[in-house]
Structure 1
């Protein structure tokens, strides 16, 4: 799948790859603006912001998010998918909470490649084990995805070496 055929929210989210927290006592104003857009009370980049990023992305393209700062709030949002699809929301459990991001593909080992915020304190694409997945969700009212999940590299670009 090329970027031109990706869901509009995924194409929008890609624009933020490289955005990162401010080291030390400062805060990245773009992350603070994400909280503000969602009407949430956080005013820093130290609060876990993966759900803030996903919510900001959807709200920015005209899709209602959960408007929550909790990653696992997306487990019941939208429409459930049985398998991952490019652009779907994926939720994960972790010690102390969860994580949420957008699927861009899979890697050569079969891990889900996720574009998300607050991944090593930045917006980037990272692999996650499928064993950690708690849900795959799709925005209600949007055409359902079709096709196989592509193998992508760490930049989220389709690999020439399909697994």
Structure 2
């Protein structure tokens, strides 16, 4: 699946590595009904969660974050399937959220985790898993932000920056 036109610029970004790894998985879709996407289940095995994660109908935003972090050479938080566990990832995002930061959001019944690719006046544009049952970019209201965390870099990529985007698309209300 190709990136939507408004996000095509992401394919030319040289980093951060977590964004590059996440983009490789863009378009992965949860299987319908009682079926499971074997790719998503393979992620659970890759990060050592095969015994606790057995169906893609189980929320998988934290699993997506874990496989992306692992492939990028970053640490995976304890209890990664719990989205709000990612509020302890890396270090605080000083100066506000920027490209590649891990954002955690509160929602009714739990939380959500995704990566910052930009923002508009009212929402963060987030690359994540289990957003409309797929890996995609969606807008999430800034008011729902719980924490913004920055990966720990040996040398921070030069393109880690705030990105202002046009407010296109509906706001996500529940990523479960």
Q: TM-score range by the shorter chain?
A: 0.7 to 0.9
Matched, 1:88 2:101: yes
Q: Secondary structure at the match of 2:40?
A: helix
Q: List aligned pairs for 1:59-138, cutoff 5 A.
A: 59-67=70-78, 68-82=80-94, 83-107=96-120, 109-138=121-150
The CA distance in 2 between the partners of 1:124 and 1:71, in whole Å, is 17
Verify the 8 A CA contact 2:77 2:88 in the aligned structure 1: no
Match of 1:139 among 122, 126, 151: 151
Structure 1 runs of 4+ aligned residues shifted over 4 Å read 152-155
1:51 to 39, 53, 62: 62
* Residue 136 (structure 1) shift: 0.6
Unaligned runs of 5+ in 1: 156-163
Normalising by structure 2, we get a TM-score of: 0.79
Aligned residues: 154
Which secondary structure state, in structure 1, belongs to the residue aligned with residue 131 of structure 2? coil
Structure 2 counterpart SS, 1:118 = strand
- Across the aligned residues of Structure 1 and Structure 2, the Cα RMSD in angstroms comes to 2.1
Aligned residue number for residue 149 of structure 1: 163
Q: Which residue of 2 aligns with 1:35?
A: 44
Per the normalisation by structure 1, the TM-score is 0.85
